[in-house]
Chain A
């Protein structure tokens, strides 16, 4: 018998509090909170405007090096392109200062304005800039790469995740099958979600509640294989009767 189970056996936590404990476990800090805390830590430790010592985070002032490169590099690239187009016969750069998607006087789809990157929306699809031929020749529209890169395919939506998992947690006691459906919905919508571990914990509880013990145990083993040092792991091990 594990120490945890021994303690629980000797004097278990009152049942009336168990649901509250499960809900408390789901209350992880969300992305907005984390961003605010991070900014506060940076301020206190000498990040931007916070003093002279080294900033606590690797990025400069909360921006990663990549973001800074994009911020500084994009206007520079635009400038170089404009200079290059200025010296290549038969081509000219147009409309660098016009909003993206707006039509130019000669009917061309205009090149996107790199200044929108300066507004902190650097994660928007990066448009491919093409030279617009001079003299009324057929104009090619500026294309935009819309396919997300594999890295950006993982969208963070902790609020959405929590909402589904809370519903799953709430249904666990009375309607475990609904809980299981919610968990499956979470998996479909957030296959790489931040709360994947919590999802699996609820799934296991739901499976046990539905008396699908074999499946539940398989899930526990898979969980332990994937998240062996998770804070949920000790509890999962006790479900398998392991120390």
Chain B
């Protein structure tokens, strides 16, 4: 998310504070949601939900974490709840839907799509908690302390989960490689 902004220093309930929060952080929420298992078709709706919650909760934001971390925390919870609802409705999982924004106009684009599909496939093989950690730590490049705040997890738990998540990803990648190498 945008690094240094007025909104990062704490925000008020005033619409101006919300507007700054939206301007600074919405692009990053839109980026993180698909990796958290939200179907491409639902990303905008879920992003709206996130910011409706942000708007409602902004007066209670105490500035114990950065606004960025706080909004990521909300995004995680809204995405989790959306995944559960989507599962109950037996919708097509996100990873089976085409990735928006990447057109197969060249071999480069196709390669990009394959790389992203591989990542999404690997993320889908993780538990929800592991997936959230990998997304925040690896893709969003949050620090360990920030991930701990966003996920309400202790650092110790986070380290062991991160270790387990990476091992699970390795296993998944090896399994896929073995399947591909079979005649």
Contacts and interface: CB of A to CB of B under 8 A. Distances in A.
Interface residues of B, number: 56
A167 interface: yes
Interface of B: 1-4, 8, 15-16, 18-19, 22, 26-31, 34-35, 43-45, 47-48, 51-52, 55, 68, 101, 108-109, 111-112, 115-120, 122, 134, 138-144, 159, 162-163, 166-167, 169-170, 173, 177
A200 to B, nearest CB: 13
B48 A7 contact: no
A37 B48 contact: yes
Nearest to B158: A7
Given A11-B166, A41-B48, A56 B31 contact: no
List the 3 shortest-distance A-B pairs measured between CB atoms, nearest first.
Answer: A29-B30, A20-B119, A229-B3
Count class of interface residues, chain A: 35 or more
Contact of B31 (A12, A17, A29, A58): A29
B34 A23 contact: no
B116 A23 contact: yes
Contacts of B51: 37, 41, 56
Interface of A: 3-4, 7, 10-14, 16-17, 19-21, 23-25, 27-30, 33-34, 36-38, 40-41, 44-45, 54-58, 162, 166-167, 169-171, 227-235
A24 B116 contact: yes
Given A13-B138, A21-B119, A25-B31, 15 more contacts: A11-B167, A13-B134, A14-B173, A17-B119, A20-B120, A28-B30, A29-B27, A34-B26, A37-B26, A37-B51, A44-B52, A56-B15, A56-B55, A58-B15, A231-B28
